Amino acid sequence: EIVLTQSPDALSLSPGEGATLSCRASQSVGSNYLAWYQQKRGQPPRLLIYGASSRATGIPDRFSGSGSGTDFTLTISRLEPEDFAVYFCQQYVGSPFTFGGGTKVEIK
């Protein structure tokens, strides 16, 4: 099973600032079979990024993903009020599909 470790656990930032979230895999996720989701309180996860760097439909370009192999990053260039949420990464290179523990981006 591939273990995904996200860091930091939480990030306190102000609107307008940038955020950098990390996801590290215990082994390679192949051809970048890595997705990112955003989850707001009381809502299901929302797909943001797939293939490590491709934005899902309707996702603003302030969200970007990068990385390969075992190290991946989600960057939010300028935080909007609606971006304060929990972010999860997920690998889908092989079963069982696994998620990281999440990074909470909170308002400072």
Residues found near other proteins in the complex (CB under 8 A): 1, 33, 35, 43-47, 50, 56-57, 88, 90, 92, 95-102
Nearest to 82 by CA among 55, 47, 107: 107
**What's the closest the beta carbon of residue 27 comes to other proteins, in angstroms?**
16
Which lies closer to other proteins via its Cβ, residue 78 or residue 97? 97
**What's the closest the beta carbon of residue 95 comes to other proteins, in angstroms?**
5
Query: Under DSSP, is residue 47 helix (H, G, I), strand (E, B) or coil?
Result: strand
Which lies closer to other proteins via its Cβ, residue 39 or residue 75? 39
Nearest to 108 by CA among 1, 4, 19, 46: 19
Distance CA 59, CA 61 (A): 7
